[in-house]
Amino acid sequence: MVETKIAVPTEQQIAWQNLELGMFVHYGINTFCNQEWGEGTDSPSLFNPAELDARQWVKLAKKAGFKYFILTAKHHDGFCLWPTETTDYSVKNSPWKNGQGDIVRECAEACQEEGILFGIYLSPWDRHEPCYQDKQAYDDFYCSQLTELLTGYGSIVEVWFDGAGSEEREYDWARITGVVKKNQPDAMIFNMGQPTIRWVGNEDGVAPYPCWNSKGKARISMFTNEEVNWLPGTPEWLPAECDVPIRKNHWFWHPNDEDSLLSIDGLLDIYYHSVGHGTNLLLNIAPDNRGLIPKLDEDRVLEFGNEIKNRFSNPLAVCTGEGTELILELPSELDIDHVILKEDIQFGERIGKYEIQAWQSGTWHNVANGSAIGHKKIDELGSIRTNALKLVVSESIKTPKILEFSCFNTGK
């Protein structure tokens, strides 16, 4: 008999996919200059948040149900939020805490206290660093920065390699990913080199459907349609992450920008199109020039977190099982409007096509159809009344393994 080979995740990938929701924080010299992409020429003397409180950022993440937190340790302008040995262009030469501060440390510690996993973004493109022109010298410089971050701040869940600005540039990715593997072997590597997770390909926070875990290539950035040339040895299982800013098109804070804040319906739509399609969602919130997340954004994030909890914390019925048919019995005849399906992805993504049926008036009625399930699929049904649901898998490789088949009455 021929064994069908299918891609399976590593233990670390499964753990990461279970996190589902991450908070991205863009903070830096741009926050003080009303800009998204500084040229690396803004003086460190501008960086002076009077009330910076990383605990406020992380506590918000925790309260809203985010499970990981990623900070821009250095954006394209090259300004470093930690007192690095590699350059003078950092918090060390700012008036903030008289040059004694370290935002990476404050975030790492707050995450540890709150029980949230901590990750870092370190822009490969560096518009300040003079040695950027010399490929080898810059690879050395970049690896030193990465080493500082990966050895000085405890456990790191994810390293975010942004392709923006680096479209035509070659870096020594084998060496760079080697630094991650050596120092933080369990960290997820985002999209570059030999990644363990991939970019979904847009900054709208939406995954296409289906968004298979084991197929598809990824783009380098928003500024090219070129696909990333991953190194040999990149795993077949490569789950996607959807990143999106809570203020439309703005990753950093800008004054008088309240109108760009996404609505609660917009955020929920993003949730259904990211987590609901089996990917992780990394939602960016930008602290302001005081060093605090503005009240309006804070309230919106909490509203978002609460709405997810309200909708999906109390299933009316849950079951697990295997095979091409699975029945979910409800305790009685009830109104339902959502179904959540999860495959047991340690065995790979086995289901290619499925249907959900509801028992109504003595017969099974089709209420939803889909292809991929993977880590999670959320199906909105519209309100129906039933006492049993049936999952019918019509295309699969090997025996389907269902970790969760559940239904909800959210009233939405």
User: Residue 143, interface with ligand FUL (CB under 6 A)?
Assistant: no
User: Residue 164, interface with ligand FUL (CB under 6 A)?
Assistant: yes
Among 221, 279, 280, 289, binds ligand FUL (CB under 6 A): 221
Identify which of residues 24 and 237 has a Cβ nearer to ligand FUL in the complex. Answer: 24
Q: Which residues pair with 48 in a beta bridge?
A: none
Nearest distance, CB of residue 251 and ligand FUL, angstroms: 4
H or E segment at 388?
strand 377-396
Nearest distance, CB of residue 250 and ligand FUL, angstroms: 9
| Single-letter residue type at 24 | F
Among 36, 140, 204, 303, binds ligand FUL (CB under 6 A): 36
Number of shown-chain residues binding ligand FUL (CB under 6 A): 7
**Where are the strands (E) in 200-239, listed by range?**
219-221, 224-227
User: Residue 46, interface with ligand FUL (CB under 6 A)?
Assistant: no
CA atoms within 13 A on the CB side of 59: 8
Identify which of residues 164 and 317 has a Cβ nearer to ligand FUL in the complex. Answer: 164
User: Residue 274, interface with ligand FUL (CB under 6 A)?
Assistant: no
User: Residue 162, interface with ligand FUL (CB under 6 A)?
Assistant: yes
Spatial distance between the Cα atoms of 241 and 250, rounded to a whole number of angstroms: 18
Tell me if residue 238 falls in helix, strand or coil.
coil
Identify which of residues 162 and 297 has a Cβ nearer to ligand FUL in the complex. Answer: 162
Among 77, 106, 139, 243, binds ligand FUL (CB under 6 A): 243
Report the candidate in 18, 21, 68, 67 with the shortest Cα–Cα distance to residue 404. Answer: 18
Spatial distance between the Cα atoms of 88 and 105, rounded to a whole number of angstroms: 18
Among 251, 271, 304, 354, binds ligand FUL (CB under 6 A): 251
Nearest distance, CB of residue 24 and ligand FUL, angstroms: 7
Identify which of residues 20 and 243 has a Cβ nearer to ligand FUL in the complex. Answer: 243
Nearest distance, CB of residue 248 and ligand FUL, angstroms: 13
Q: Is it true that the peptide bond before 210 is cis, omega within 30 degrees of 0?
A: yes
Report the candidate in 259, 267, 299 with the shortest Cα–Cα distance to residue 60. Answer: 299
Q: Under a CB-based contact definition with an 8 Å cutoff, are residues 393 and 402 in contact?
A: no
Residue nearest to ligand FUL (CB): 164
Identify which of residues 139 and 243 has a Cβ nearer to ligand FUL in the complex. Answer: 243
Beta-sheet pairing, 351-360 with 377-396: antiparallel
Identify which of residues 221 and 279 has a Cβ nearer to ligand FUL in the complex. Answer: 221
Spatial distance between the Cα atoms of 94 and 88, rounded to a whole number of angstroms: 10
Instruction: Enter the tokens of residue 94.
Output: 């700012």
Report the candidate in 101, 135, 35, 116 with the shortest Cα–Cα distance to residue 69. Answer: 116
User: Residue 241, interface with ligand FUL (CB under 6 A)?
Assistant: no
Can you give the length of the chain in residues?
412
User: Residue 199, interface with ligand FUL (CB under 6 A)?
Assistant: no
Identify which of residues 77 and 148 has a Cβ nearer to ligand FUL in the complex. Answer: 77
Nearest distance, CB of residue 200 and ligand FUL, angstroms: 12
Spatial distance between the Cα atoms of 350 and 398, rounded to a whole number of angstroms: 6
Report the candidate in 406, 404, 395, 405 with the shortest Cα–Cα distance to residue 350. Answer: 395
Nearest distance, CB of residue 243 and ligand FUL, angstroms: 5
Q: Which residues pair with 329 in a beta bridge?
A: 388
Identify which of residues 201 and 276 has a Cβ nearer to ligand FUL in the complex. Answer: 201
Identify which of residues 72 and 196 has a Cβ nearer to ligand FUL in the complex. Answer: 72
Footprint of ligand FUL on this chain (CB under 6 A)? 36, 162, 164, 221-222, 243, 251
